[in-house]
Amino acid sequence: MDLIIFNPPRYSNGKFHKFNNAVLWLASYLHRRGVKVRIVPLNHAHYAETVEAELAAHRPKYVAISCKWWDTLYSATHIAKLVKQFDPGIVTISGGYTASFFALDLVNQTDFDVVIRGDGEEPLYRLVTGQSPVNVAMKGDTTLIPVIKQYVQSEEHLRELVLIDDLEEIISDTSVLNSYIWTGKGCAETCVYCAANALNNIQTFGRAKNIYRPIDKVLREVEILSRYPGSTRITFDFDPIRGLKQERFYLDLFAALPPKKYNCYFFSWSLPSTELIDSLARTFKLVELGIDVQVASERLRKVLGDRRYLKPFYSDEALDATLQHCHQYDNFIIDLSTLMGLPFETDEDVLAIKPFSDYFYDKYPALRYPYVSPMNVEPGSLLLQHPDRYEMVLFRRTFADFWQYTQRSFQENMNCYQPEQYGDGIFHPLGCASQADYARGDYFRTYETWKEVQKNIDFRSRQRVNSRMAKYMKHGLRTLGVTGGIDRSAVGGGEHE
């Protein structure tokens, strides 16, 4: 075996495992070029035994460990340590958004030998076949060569990145496969909270524009993934944010799909147009439409949108019109996601959450009660790099901070994003507070306020469970929400790559 790719556990008990679908395309790319590669999801409490068994059975020269989401920072390094304990000669590799941001820290302070920065297909292929590496950080490195001067993917490259027909050839456990369909990459926005902001994309991937995959490749992969769990629901989590060109891609894609064969979850990071809504309604049996409202307060949404600290502003009236258009169809279930604790938030903005949510929930039967997530500081976000600009104070900032925070979460099986227990300093539940709250010593105001908001959300959400379940059953679905798709505990950290 040339390479094993481990998808690390989120917590030591193996629960709430989140599979990084990107490794499917990564492994497919390598497999097509003759590399013997195997993906192993570590999705149970006996992950250490699985690592040892896989290494003993296949004796790989290289082991890659995904580190896309920051909540797997510690667990990824922990798996690398287990690999080195088994055989110090195995070359350990990491990649993904978080690994790319902390590349020098990982190669110089942990058991990783190499970190691939940005898009990994060609750099990983070169590495495991002994060619001159690109987009890498290696042990001993103190500086990084800009990715933009090395390997940068374009739409032309995306033609070669396709799934193999038989995924059993490259993955040990197909039960982790979900309905996510990869349609494109990139983001040109500068949202304060998100690691996938345009500036970090330039540094990490060498570009900050949207690139889309060929529609014929996407259609083929819908067929391939339809053989596996969640096959009747297609999940899209990359959408048109700017301009008609991006929207046209989805209109053409939906027109090419067989009508009413699949259910769909479409997470819209911008306000969808009526034409897109009509197309969703025609194409799919049941449409679960997630809309990123950003913040419930229209005032704050405009302040941040005008400064480009969020995506372009739209009004409550515009949202109402969109929901009214959806309301004419009987095959929609709608999610609205919002954040608390954003820069320049006032008590007035917090008080706006309940009337905003109640108004839309009471008016539209197909709407689940709007979801509210407290903003966390993420590695690579603009908030992390420029807190003073946003009048915020950080409690977690360095690699060591995030590593220690995720270590406790992993070992004690605690939710990184919304922990029930927390403490001072790096163990602050959100990792940040406004300068005003900090000056008053009220470090936990946002989180404690959010917990009260969440109680109301839980209460009101239960009021429509039976009606929603009836709609699910009508369309052949047995579970609420997205199966293996969007992780709602981390809404607001939409890493589009």
The helix (H) or strand (E) run that includes residue 10 is none
Same structural domain for residues 310 and 448?
yes
* 107 confidence band (pLDDT: 50, 70, 90): very high
Token representation of residue 166: 């038989």
* 491 confidence band (pLDDT: 50, 70, 90): very low
415-442: average pLDDT:
96
**What confidence score (pLDDT) does residue 240 get?**
55
Closest CA to 205 of 180, 181, 188: 188
Same structural domain for residues 233 and 341?
yes
3-state class of 290 per DSSP? Answer: strand
Pairing type for strands 432-434 and 392-394 reads antiparallel
* 497 confidence band (pLDDT: 50, 70, 90): very low
Is residue 429 in a domain? no
Q: Which of residues 169, 194, 215 is at a domain's end? A: 169
Token representation of residue 72: 């797997």
Pairing type for strands 371-374 and 332-340 reads parallel
Q: What does the alpha-carbon distance between residue 28 and residue 197 come to, in Å, rounded to a whole number? A: 27
Is residue 231 in a domain? yes
Is residue 418 in a domain? no
**What confidence score (pLDDT) does residue 246 get?**
80
* 478 confidence band (pLDDT: 50, 70, 90): low
359 CB-side CA count, 13 A: 13
| DSSP code, position 447 | H
Distances (CA, A) of 335 to 267, 275, 315, 332: 9, 19, 17, 10
Q: What does the alpha-carbon distance between residue 216 and residue 214 come to, in Å, rounded to a whole number? A: 6
Statement: residue 253 has pLDDT above 90? yes
| DSSP code, position 171 | B
CATH of the domain at 383: 3.80.30.20
Closest CA to 67 of 15, 151, 10: 10
Window from 32-46, 121-135, 205-219 with minimum mean pLDDT: 205-219
Q: What does the alpha-carbon distance between residue 15 and residue 27 come to, in Å, rounded to a whole number? A: 24
Q: Which residues pair with 79 in a beta bridge?
A: none
185-209: average pLDDT:
91
Same structural domain for residues 16 and 114?
yes
Pairing type for strands 392-394 and 332-340 reads unpaired
Q: How many domains, the chain?
A: 2
Is residue 225 in a domain? yes
Closest CA to 453 of 363, 377, 356: 356
Per DSSP, the residues of 83-146 read HHHH-TTSEEEEESHHHHHTHHHHHHHSS-SEEE-S--HHHHHHHHTTPPP-SEEETT--S---
Same structural domain for residues 197 and 154?
no
Same structural domain for residues 242 and 146?
no
**What confidence score (pLDDT) does residue 494 get?**
37
CATH of the domain at 136: 3.40.50.280
Interval 216-246: pLDDT, tens: 999 999 999 988 875 678 899 876 556 666 8
**What confidence score (pLDDT) does residue 245 get?**
67
Angle 454-419-177 (CA atoms, 0-180°, nearest 5)? 90
Is residue 402 in a domain? no
Q: Which of residues 122, 148, 169 is at a domain's end? A: 169
**Judging by beta carbons within 10 Å of its beta carbon (0-12, 13-18, 19+), is residue 79 exposed, middle or buried?**
buried
Same structural domain for residues 160 and 206?
no
Is residue 487 in a domain? no
Window from 109-113, 231-235, 329-333 with minimum mean pLDDT: 231-235
Closest CA to 194 of 388, 378, 373: 378
Same structural domain for residues 153 and 116?
yes
Q: What does the alpha-carbon distance between residue 5 and residue 92 come to, in Å, rounded to a whole number? A: 10
Interval 376-388: pLDDT, tens: 999 999 999 999 9
3-state class of 82 per DSSP? Answer: helix
Q: What does the alpha-carbon distance between residue 246 and residue 318 come to, in Å, rounded to a whole number? A: 20
Is residue 469 in a domain? yes
Q: What does the alpha-carbon distance between residue 428 and residue 436 come to, in Å, rounded to a whole number? A: 16
Window from 192-206, 306-320, 419-433, 477-491 with minimum mean pLDDT: 477-491
| DSSP code, position 175 | G
Q: What does the alpha-carbon distance between residue 119 and residue 202 come to, in Å, rounded to a whole number? A: 12
Token representation of residue 215: 């529609």
Q: How far does Cα 1 stand from its chain's mean position? A: 30
Q: Which of residues 169, 203, 227 is at a domain's end? A: 169
Q: What does the alpha-carbon distance between residue 295 and residue 313 come to, in Å, rounded to a whole number? A: 10
Select the more confidently predicted residue: 213 or 481: 213
Interval 338-359: pLDDT, tens: 999 999 999 999 999 999 999 9
The share of the chain scoring above pLDDT 90, in percent, equals 84
Q: Which residues contact 457 (CB under 8 A, 6 or more apart)?
A: 357, 369, 370, 371, 372
**What confidence score (pLDDT) does residue 484 get?**
35
382-396: average pLDDT:
97
Select the more confidently predicted residue: 186 or 435: 435
* 492 confidence band (pLDDT: 50, 70, 90): very low
Same structural domain for residues 154 and 253?
no
**What confidence score (pLDDT) does residue 479 get?**
56
3-state class of 236 per DSSP? Answer: strand
How does the average pLDDT of the chain come out, rounded? 92
Closest CA to 196 of 97, 293, 294: 97
Q: What does the alpha-carbon distance between residue 253 and residue 217 come to, in Å, rounded to a whole number? A: 11
Token representation of residue 4: 């094993």
Same structural domain for residues 153 and 215?
no
Q: Which residues pair with 66 in a beta bridge?
A: 95
Same structural domain for residues 380 and 235?
yes
Q: What does the alpha-carbon distance between residue 490 and residue 312 come to, in Å, rounded to a whole number? A: 21
Is residue 417 in a domain? no
360 CB-side CA count, 13 A: 30
269 CB-side CA count, 13 A: 24
**What confidence score (pLDDT) does residue 32 get?**
97
**What confidence score (pLDDT) does residue 486 get?**
34
Same structural domain for residues 183 and 157?
no
**Measured between alpha carbons, how far apart are the two ends of the chain, in Å?**
28
Domain with 57 in it: 3-169
Interval 32-89: pLDDT, tens: 999 999 999 999 999 999 999 999 999 999 999 999 999 999 999 999 999 999 999 9
Statement: residue 297 has pLDDT above 80? yes
Q: Which residues contact 355 (CB under 8 A, 6 or more apart)?
A: none
Closest CA to 170 of 306, 275, 378, 31: 31
Same structural domain for residues 188 and 92?
no
The share of the chain scoring above pLDDT 70, in percent, equals 93
